[in-house]
Structure 1
Amino acid sequence: MEIRFPIQLKKLRTGLSMSQEDIAGKLYISRQAVSRWESGDATPDMSNLIKLAEIFDCSLDTLVLGTEPKQDNIDDKIDKWWVAIPLVAILGGTIPDIIQAFK
């Protein structure tokens, strides 16, 4: 399995024009610790991973794995509504029933 965290960390950090020192200051750790994370020689604990995700305003999946969150496809939701409305009408349901069915 390819280790993506060091690559993602550096990419996200440089994308915000932050130095290793900037990240270290926000986490109250040494700059050398951030350097070791970026080189793959060490990994942060869970609390620092969470803080990093907050700093970079990204998910843990994005930070650790480099994956982007899936976007909701509005067309899929609209298609579901057009199918549900006639079915509920036939079965005698109401709009609140339809809304509840999709929760």
Structure 2
Amino acid sequence: MRGDNLTDIKKIREKRGITQKELAAKLNVSPSTVSQWENGLRNPSLVNVKRVSNILHCTTDELLNSVGGETDES
């Protein structure tokens, strides 16, 4: 469902001192993809949610708390 987003990615990412560009590089996606996730334009695949949780040292539940609906594979 569009409109839901992973605003928690942004909060946690900023708390960890990681830029969108750095997170994108670690995930092998573009910085615009990370931005789209954070702004609710797209949702990451479940594989990428798991990868983000590992990079940001948080649980997938923390990230999925604000997400619902479709996912994109990028």
Structure 1 residue runs without a partner (length 5+) = 67-103
Contact 2:50 2:60 in 1 (8 A): yes
Shift, 1:64, TM fit: 1.3
Report what 2:72 is aligned to: none
Report what 2:44 is aligned to: 44
The whole-number CA distance in structure 1 between the counterparts of 2:34 and 2:59 is 19
**Could you tell me the TM-score, scaled by structure 1's length?**
0.58
RMSD over aligned CA atoms reads: 1.6
After TM superposition, the runs of 4+ consecutive aligned structure 1 residues lying more than 4 A away are none
Task: Considering fraction of residues, name the structure with more helix.
Answer: 1
Matches within 5 A, 1:1-103: 3=4, 5-65=5-65
Report what 2:70 is aligned to: none
**Could you tell me the TM-score, scaled by structure 2's length?**
0.78
Larger Rg: 1
Equivalenced residue count is: 64
